[in-house]
A and B are shown apart, each in its own frame.
Chain A
Amino acid sequence: MASSTVLRGRRVKRQLPTSPWLFAAPGLLIAGAFILYPFVSTVVNSFTDRRTLIPGRFVGLANFRELLHDDMFWTGLRNSTLYVLGVVPALVVLPLLLALLVQKNIPGIAFFRAAFYTPVVASVVVVGLIWVWLLDERGLVNSLLETVGVGRVGFLSDQWLLLLSAMAVTVWKGLGYYMIIYLAALANVPRELHEAAAVDGAGAVRRFITVTVPAVRSTMVLVGALSSVAAFKVFSEVYLMAGPSGGPAGEDTTLVMLVQRTGTGLTGRVGYASALSVVVFLVTVALMLLVLRADRREES
């Protein structure tokens, strides 16, 4: 018995250096092929003038210099930034309020929870097309506005209304997802805290500010970080609503749309699109760091 333990121990010791790598190999292989390699390749390509079918040559920082003088890059950066500013506050606050509403165990609440979550599982393409029909010049929304005397509104033809409409779709579609995250966080808020605050005479609003918000603050940071990254990388909603050209005169183009437009197709400028992608990556990382830093400062 004792000798077999020793033997087993030896065998384990002998296998230790390589066996973890073997276990990790499938994961490493997948991560290497689908994450690491494309990432490194994108960074390398950003310093070349590579095109879809023509291998590029090293051009140093020329692509980055070019994008500083590219009006469409600044348009894309403006729109992606506006998207973050418009969407993130809504996605941090509204799902929390929604979660508070559906948290209560009252008859039929499961239906509302499911209803609020439905847009999350719906295809973004289907959702986008439905909203395009709703907001069309002759769509349901404009018919209603015309009936009440407001007149037709160019939701899909005005540069700013188009961007706002796309933001509204993103918020509407994301509410359910973040609501579930908040529901999980709210379940961990001790009931006693609410009861103690109520005994001290705090009303519903005060309890929300002094008990609920501090208790779910780390979740709010998480939601803020996740939604800001997603908002900065927005593509589908704007592409579907504004069309492949990015709205009137391309004024609603976002950075990721610009990457797609520039880098794809048989004449795609892979090098330049890679430089754009690197910028998107850097801004995304900066956004994450900003949110986390703000959270840390708050904590300290």
Chain B
Amino acid sequence: MPTSRRAALAAAAVAVLVLPLSACGSSDGKGGSTDASGKVEGDITFQTWNLRANFKDYFESVVAGFESKYPGTHVKWIDQPAEGYADKISADAAGGTLPDVVNVSPDLVAPLAKAGLALDLDKAAARYEKEYLPGAWASHQIPGMKGTYAFPWYLNTGPLFYNKSLFRKAGLDPDRPPRTYDDLFTDALELAHKSGGKVATLANVPTIEDFGRYGVPLVNQQGTAFAFNDPKGVELLTKYKQLYDAKALDPQALTATPESSGKKFLTGAVAMNPGSALDLDNFKKQAPSLYRDIGITDQITSTGHVNMYVMGVMVNSRTRHTPAAVAFAHYVTDAAHQMAFAKKVAIFPSTAGSLDDPYFTKQDGTDETRVRVAAAKSLKTAVNYTPVLFSDQMKTALRNEVAKALQGKQSPKAALDNAVKACDTLLRQQG
């Protein structure tokens, strides 16, 4: 075989191998426009986060409503499972296939905004800002960056559920659940003592949100470094260590997930568990005897502000149809649609004035309404304690250091110092 022919063949083989791969690379970098004032038209894709299974009809009607309001638009709705949602978004973002409109949370939007993939709504949709609660609008602002990178969507918070029967057995008054951290720690130790260590009160190690609710400053004033290793943070972890030693904190708390601790509460192995109005239905179906004896109390907080979770709807900055994508993101999150969605599931609108609707203020004697009204009231002053830049890797770093302190392998102070150091390093690496 002549050398030139062999070389040509080799080149062809390389091209055959490499050319298809070049299509798998990142996006071509051609950004869409930040101008959302043009005609609302074109095909866009909308991605939600584990909502198809229960709300298919609702979202199909939202899409149909938008398409009939704006002829010439077509919305393709896709839904991704809860598990691995961040991985799916990161794969799409890296592959240049991120949908035009994406359901996100503040911690997901931060890296996307830093990579220039989230549209700055302060530039493209500032006129809509007044429609939302100020705190909710600000929840998708990233420290160190100017702008707002997602429309606020639904909010959620929830009470603390407790098992009255376990309280009764321990000699505690089931109608007087703990309302302060001091009460909580005292009752938890009593429950563990009376049950011979068989009943724990809490099933999870303290998370960043727990430190926030306890009144620990989470980041420094400039927002450039973490600060939860201050004396207040050490105090909280020291208290948790006492609970762990007394088995008032479940021994499996070090490896627990929200799902596993929920199951422990259902089986009566744990006396208290945070939740939301959604859980009441779950208790009714899966643990009717627990449901009959369920106690509901407010989240415990030292700051006067409960924790809330915020969902958002982001517009891909590289969309080819910016006006349609912005219009749709606003349409999904406007007051009318958030209210309609809230009546289908126990979530709360982030639009201004919606929480004053009688649906969120009037009691009707049922537990569901009691939880809903109480949650709506607390949401007016609630805080999203999760720092926007707190990544999954940081959560793991904090969790592991906390676990070492609980096991007695290091002091609470050393554990939090190490966690802050690790989180600061990860923060710097994020750029």
The 8 Å CB contact of A267, one of B1, B117, B393, is: B393
By the criterion CB–CB under 8 Å, are A247 and B251 in contact? no
The 8 Å CB contact of B17, one of A37, A49, A261, A264, is: A37
The 8 Å CB contact of A249, one of B1, B108, B254, is: B254
| Bound-complex Cα distance A248 to B256 (A) | 9
Residue B379 lies at the interface, judged by CB distance under 8 Å to chain A = no
Q: Can you report 12 A-B residue pairs in the complex whose CB atoms are below 8 A from each other? A: A17-B5, A25-B16, A32-B17, A36-B17, A52-B111, A157-B252, A244-B396, A245-B399, A265-B86, A266-B90, A266-B93, A267-B392
The 8 Å CB contact of A28, one of B13, B89, B93, B399, is: B13
Residue B430 lies at the interface, judged by CB distance under 8 Å to chain A = yes
Given contacts A52-B111, A266-B89, 6 further A-B contacts (CB under 8 A): A17-B1, A25-B13, A33-B17, A49-B429, A51-B430, A269-B429
Residue A112 lies at the interface, judged by CB distance under 8 Å to chain B = no
Interchain nearest-CB distance for A203 vs B (Å): 48
* Residues in A whose Cβ lies below 8 Å from that of B426: 267
Query: What is the chain B residue whose CB lies nearest that of A260?
Result: B87
Q: A53 with B409: in contact, given A29-B17, A157-B254, A249-B400 (CB under 8 Å)?
A: no
Interchain nearest-CB distance for A234 vs B (Å): 17
By the criterion CB–CB under 8 Å, are B112 and A266 in contact? yes
| Bound-complex Cα distance A55 to B96 (A) | 13
**B-to-A contact residues, CB < 8 Å:** 1, 5, 9, 13, 16-18, 20-21, 26, 86-87, 89-90, 93-94, 108, 111-112, 114-115, 117, 250-252, 254-257, 260, 267, 269, 391-393, 396, 399-401, 403-404, 407, 409, 426, 429-431
Interchain nearest-CB distance for B180 vs A (Å): 29
Residue A86 lies at the interface, judged by CB distance under 8 Å to chain B = no
Interchain nearest-CB distance for A61 vs B (Å): 17
By the criterion CB–CB under 8 Å, are B90 and A54 in contact? no
* Residues in B whose Cβ lies below 8 Å from that of A266: 86, 89-90, 93, 108, 111-112, 391
By the criterion CB–CB under 8 Å, are B393 and A261 in contact? yes
By the criterion CB–CB under 8 Å, are A265 and B87 in contact? yes
Interchain nearest-CB distance for A13 vs B (Å): 12
By the criterion CB–CB under 8 Å, are B255 and A247 in contact? yes
By the criterion CB–CB under 8 Å, are B117 and A265 in contact? no
Interchain nearest-CB distance for B201 vs A (Å): 15
- Taken residue by residue from 27 to 63, chain A's Cβ proximity to chain B (1 for < 8 Å, 0 otherwise) reads as 0110011001100000000000101111100000000
Query: What is the chain B residue whose CB lies nearest that of A262?
Result: B393
| Bound-complex Cα distance A53 to B401 (A) | 28
**A-to-B contact residues, CB < 8 Å:** 17-18, 21, 25, 28-29, 32-33, 36-37, 49, 51-55, 136-138, 154, 156-157, 162, 242-250, 261-262, 264-269
Query: What is the chain A residue whose CB lies nearest that of B401?
Result: A249
By the criterion CB–CB under 8 Å, are A245 and B396 in contact? yes
By the criterion CB–CB under 8 Å, are B9 and A21 in contact? yes
By the criterion CB–CB under 8 Å, are A33 and B20 in contact? yes
By the criterion CB–CB under 8 Å, are A265 and B403 in contact? no
By the criterion CB–CB under 8 Å, are A156 and B255 in contact? yes
Query: What is the chain A residue whose CB lies nearest that of B402?
Result: A249
Query: What is the chain A residue whose CB lies nearest that of B257?
Result: A243
By the criterion CB–CB under 8 Å, are A265 and B396 in contact? no
Q: A267 with B391: in contact, given A53-B111, A243-B257, A248-B407 (CB under 8 Å)?
A: yes
By the criterion CB–CB under 8 Å, are A268 and B403 in contact? no
| Bound-complex Cα distance A220 to B409 (A) | 42
* Residues in B whose Cβ lies below 8 Å from that of A156: 252, 255
| Bound-complex Cα distance A33 to B17 (A) | 7
* Residues in B whose Cβ lies below 8 Å from that of A268: 90, 393
* Residues in B whose Cβ lies below 8 Å from that of A137: 250-252, 269
By the criterion CB–CB under 8 Å, are A249 and B112 in contact? no
* Residues in B whose Cβ lies below 8 Å from that of A18: 9
* Residues in B whose Cβ lies below 8 Å from that of A244: 257, 396
By the criterion CB–CB under 8 Å, are B431 and A54 in contact? yes
Query: What is the chain B residue whose CB lies nearest that of A25?
Result: B16
| Bound-complex Cα distance A266 to B404 (A) | 27
By the criterion CB–CB under 8 Å, are A249 and B404 in contact? yes
| Bound-complex Cα distance A55 to B21 (A) | 17
* Residues in B whose Cβ lies below 8 Å from that of A265: 86-87, 90, 391-393
By the criterion CB–CB under 8 Å, are B251 and A250 in contact? no
